[in-house]
Amino acid sequence: MEIKKVALVTGGMGGLGTAICQRLQRAGFRVAATYSPHNSSPEGWLAAQRDEGYRFTAYKVDVGDFADSEWMVQKLLSEQGRLDVLVNNAGITRDRSLAKMQHDDWVEVMRTNLDSVFNLSKQAIEPMIAQGGGRIINISSVNGQKGAFGQTNYSAAKAAMHGFTKALALEMARHGVTVNTVSPGYLRTKMVTAVPEEVMTSRILPQIPVGRLGEPEEVAGLVAYLSSDEAAFVTGANIAINGGQHMS
Ligand code: CAA
């Protein structure tokens, strides 16, 4: 009997997370989505996904908390039996110029966007090594590559994710575990469409040569490729998907 591989997507119920969960399920994975303790209606999301023909498992976790992340991954392993793909997708913004930024804005963004990558990857590598391979995909941002006004916290966390990727890619290469960063530009998700209309039209859209926001499904397609057996030679890479906004 063919083994069905298991993918875990943190922040799986958000705009990009949902697209990634759906795409990985269509690629043949059993998919688990994490949601934060602040999410009041995970059942609503699961039901809506079922209506669209998707069956996901959901795990509540504060990805910024080490012990909670450890507990959650152990629970997943005992229920699902394996872990093949980890997509570190959970992320938040607390945009403010540094002059106005509060210490809490810094701490919250660092723990959710960066500590989470350590917390989850630390749990994932052991089962992946034991299984003879795996995939870790860190969802960063164009703003980690080029910086953005009002995002000293977010840009720092997103840039640091790729340092983590490169170091862990070296450690994991001989185990068949690839570790990569995906750096999306501005996507049509709530995180981006929540910015004031004026900022969108005068500051964001003019920076994007393709002339539009990206679709979450476009990024999900790249994540599916990196999750596949075909992508075994891609590791330590930072793949930009940003409509031409930033080329490095
Ligand atoms: N570039 C240059 N100058 C800017 C600026 C910008 N982007 N934004 C504001 N300024 C200027 C203001 O005009 C103002 O100038 P004056 O003092 O001369 O009037 C000065 O900087 C200070 O402005 P504010 O007092 O408004 O600054 P603030 O600390 O309140 O922060 C902000 C403003 C909240 C950052 C606001 O600019 C904003 O909402 N920007 C958009 C943030 C954004 O795009 N976030 C993206 C979220 S999505 C995402 O990040 C996903 C991803 O990965 C791509």
pLDDT at 1 exceeding the cut of 70 = no
pLDDT at 2 exceeding the cut of 80 = no
Q: Which of 35, 54, 59, 154 is catalytic?
A: 154
From atom 4 of ligand 1, which residue's Cα is the shortest distance away? 149
pLDDT tens by residue, 81-118: 999 999 999 999 999 999 999 999 999 999 999 999 99
Q: How far apart are CA 87 and CA 179, in angstroms?
A: 10
Cβ pair 61, 72 in contact under 8 A = yes
Q: How far apart are CA 80 and CA 26, in angstroms?
A: 18
Supply the DSSP symbol for 205: G
Q: Catalytic annotation on 154?
A: yes
Tell me if 248 is assigned to some domain: no
Across the range 112-129, mean pLDDT stands at 98
From atom 54 of ligand 1, which residue's Cα is the shortest distance away? 186
Atom of ligand 1 nearest to the CA of 154: 50
**Cβ partners under 8 Å of residue 168, min gap 6:** 121, 125, 136, 179
pLDDT at 120 exceeding the cut of 70 = yes
pLDDT tens by residue, 134-147: 999 999 999 999 99
Tell me if 198 is assigned to some domain: yes
Most informative mutation of 199, 201, 213 for ligand 1 (most atoms within 8 A of CB): 199
Tell me if 199 is assigned to some domain: yes
Atom of ligand 1 nearest to the CA of 100: 29
Tell me if 161 is assigned to some domain: yes
Average pLDDT, the chain: 97
pLDDT tens by residue, 45-84: 999 999 999 999 999 999 999 999 999 999 999 999 999 9
The per-residue pLDDT for 248 is 84
CA distances in angstroms from 71 to 6, 36, 76, 87, listed in the order given: 17, 14, 9, 18
Domain range enclosing 66: 6-241
Task: List the CATH number of the domain containing 201.
Answer: 3.40.50.720
Tell me if 247 is assigned to some domain: no
pLDDT tens by residue, 159-216: 999 999 999 999 999 999 999 999 999 999 988 999 999 999 999 999 999 999 999 9
Tell me if 123 is assigned to some domain: yes
Tokens of 102: 């509060």
> What residues does ligand 1 touch, defined as CB less than 6 Å away?
93, 95-97, 100, 141-143, 149-150, 154, 185-186, 191-192, 195, 199, 203-204
- How many structural domains are present in the chain? 1
